A and B are shown apart, each in its own frame.
Chain A
Amino acid sequence: MTGAEVLVKCLEKEGVELLFGYPGVAICPFFDALLDTQIRPVLVREEQNAAHAASGYARMTGNCGVVAVTSGPGATNLITGIATAFADSIPLVCFTGQVESHLLGNDVFQEADISGACESFVKYSYIVRRAADIPQIIKEAFYIAGSGRKGPVLIDLPMDIQLEEVQRFSYPKELSMRTYKPTVKGNGAQIKRVISQLKDARRPIMCVGGGVHLSGAEAEIRRFAEAHQIPVVSTMMGIGVMPTEHPLYFGMVGNNGHVYGNRAMNEADLIMMVGARVADRSISQPDLIMTGKIMIHIDVDPAEIGKIAGPNTPLVGDIRTIFREMEKHEIQTTTSAWLRTLQGYKTDGADREVQNRRSRSIKGKTLADPAQFLRELSLAMKKDAIVTVDVGQNQMWACANYVVRDGSFLTSGGMGTMGYALPAAMGAKLACPKKQVVAVCGDGGFQMTMMELGTMEQYGIPAKVVILKNRTLGLVYQYQKLRFKKRYIVTELGDTPDFEKLAEAYRMQYFHIGSQEETQDALQAFLADEKSAMLVCDIDPEALA
């Protein structure tokens, strides 16, 4: 049995059904061994997209996404994808081929020190030195990637190790790692403290982040908020924890968030940060959430607690486990007056939004309004549909206007990686073949990963792609407009390719929205069937996000 055969057997034991990859000589033994298994490899068109696709897959299945690429350029192309997953704590196990062990360090053909290069954005990395170590390493890798604060793990596989003969195979049943023991259960005394602080609070609020999704605690959070009538805001990564139109949900906070959401945070007397990092884009003034308030920070990663703002009550553990524990306690809260105030803010904000929209349309613009379009798109999609959103203006509009009902909202938050949406949509569709999956991109981000239309066609992945077309890199264009007095440079995309022909080339259906009036009909046709389709919506390059 070779090392590669041992490796794929381990993957089978871990329940891997699908992986994303791109071959090269240095990873060939691995792919060869894959032929004799049930594991399906998906050949992407560029390595970075393998990681994004695996990320979409991991976020929808809750399991680790698996990636396999070759050494050198294959591995370095993967770096952005790994860093993106790391920033959003997405569990991936990434295999990279490597030159033969005895050649390591000699700068031979397609050699790159990938474990060194990725050191600061993997949760852990291995360079395999003996084929006999493979089972233990794989067991550890999946455990590390998928537990505690999740994240990518890299395994570098020298060619000779993949070919090395191993006498016998046994996969470790249990794992006891000497140094790695994440906290799952919340400290009982701290939980009691949280409960008593909640009892005393008059204006409590929960701010939920991506950690809630990663822990699979959406239902627990909803139940808790409803049972105690606690209002909820979210960070960008926390969108979808609460349905957008839930009466207790007050939108996204942060620079690009809802005014009423930020106002709610500022006026609260108790903030529960749940699975959120207090990141700069969501909390731009961390002092503000500390002054005159009680702050409770619940996170699985103790290092996030107190990194930016020192909480009054830290609580380390898995969010789902903690909220299941908290449900057992009796809490009396009287928040009806507080909720009325927040509802008032929200209605005001919504009214202003409608007025803005009206004044925009009065100006006689016939192009579709992107904010309005995203709202209509979300309402036309199935209730449990998955949307993947790229980076830039489209992301800002989507965060503010997309209505999540029972579905999921996936985007690249921490790293803000353009081109994430399309490959992530492929991964999500492969994870949930029965669900409707739509990628929302700008014409800039789309052109970064449009080669993946090839993958979609080859494997028959019927994801749908929306392109907001303004012929600019909108968010930076907008920045140059406001900050650099309209001195535009490298933000205009020219005429952009003929997307209709591109859709035809990849045998996709094509739809187009040239004006506001065409929106509804085009959306109906675009979403009508289960085939892959492209919808291009022309928008005004001067529209601000």
Chain B
Amino acid sequence: MNRVFQIIVDNTSGVLSRISGLFSRRGYNIESITAGVTADPRFTRITIVTSGDEGILEQIEKQVSKLVDVRDIKELKPNESVYRELCMIKVRANAKERQGVIALTNIFRGNIIDVGRQSLMVEIVGSQDKVDAFMNLLDGYEILEVARTGIAALARGIEHVLYIDDDGSVSGWTEHAKKEQERAARELEEQAAAEAAKEKTAAKNKKTAK
């Protein structure tokens, strides 16, 4: 069974080759790998689809965690996450065949993104199953070229969001919420203290003015 890992790494040069090199030299399988910058430009999110028994998956997590550039690795379980893949398919279709392809594309909520005299290019986005199903349905047509991006994935909801603080520590949502509360409390205290100090100096000034 395929498993999806989300890896958050420092955006250093060579980081992708370090990760993929680790997979190849230790004999771990890579079904697909995608990488892109996160909301915070210091970091890159890498999504790797891999397979193996429990022992291998555990080793993957541990060995990847060991790389100096890696901030966090987490498995994105199917029931708690959303997977998406973009696929571009060039189908051979003359004027007569076009309508059939377009109809299929519409059913799958894909887009026709290029039309030629003898071909159509379809863009389809979805889970890997959906993309596979669409390709299967194109059975009667000649598929000329396919480009698949590999999946990108995110965990559902706010519970799995990772926060990376300025000092680099990674915290989950609950931890982060706690930290935020503490920070707010601290700020309130500081504010109160500052105000008290202000009043004091104001009172002092009054005194001296008298």
Q: Could you list which residues of chain A lie within 8 angstroms of chain B, going by C-beta atoms?
A: 115-116, 119-120, 123-125, 127, 144, 176-180, 301-303, 306-307, 310
Contacts and interface: CB of A to CB of B under 8 A. Distances in A.
A179 B68 contact: yes
Among A116, A119, A176, A179, max chain B CB count under 10 A is at A179
A124 B22 CA distance: 13
A315 to B, nearest CB: 15
Given A116-B17, A119-B17, 13 more contacts: A119-B14, A120-B21, A127-B13, A176-B167, A177-B168, A179-B69, A179-B71, A301-B66, A302-B66, A303-B62, A303-B66, A306-B62, A307-B59
A306 B69 contact: no
Contacts of A119: 14, 17-18, 21
Contacts of B75: none
Nearest to A305: B62
Given A178-B10, A306-B58, A120 B25 contact: yes
B71 A178 contact: yes
Nearest to B59: A307
B105 interface: no
Contact of B63 (A125, A144, A179, A303): A303
Contact of A303 (B13, B59, B164, B168): B59
Contacts of B13: 127
Contacts of A123: 68
Given A179-B70, A180-B68, A115 B62 contact: no
The range of chain B's interface size is: 20 to 34
B65 interface: yes
Contacts of B167: 176, 178
Nearest to A304: B62
Contacts of A120: 21-22, 25
Nearest to A119: B21
Contacts of A303: 59, 62-63, 65-66
28 contacts: A115-B14, A116-B17, A119-B14, A119-B18, A119-B21, A123-B68, A124-B68, A144-B68, A176-B167, A176-B168, A177-B168, A178-B10, A178-B71, A178-B164, A178-B167, A179-B10, A179-B68, A179-B69, A179-B70, A179-B71, A179-B168, A180-B68, A301-B66, A302-B62, A302-B65, A303-B66, A306-B55, A310-B55
Contacts of A125: 14
Interface in B13-42: 13-14, 17-18, 21-22, 25
Nearest to A115: B14
Interface in B143-194: 164, 167-168
Contacts of B68: 123-124, 144, 177, 179-180
A434 B176 CA distance: 55
B41 to A, nearest CB: 14
A135 B58 CA distance: 36
A310 B56 CA distance: 12
A301 B59 CA distance: 12
Contacts of B10: 178-179
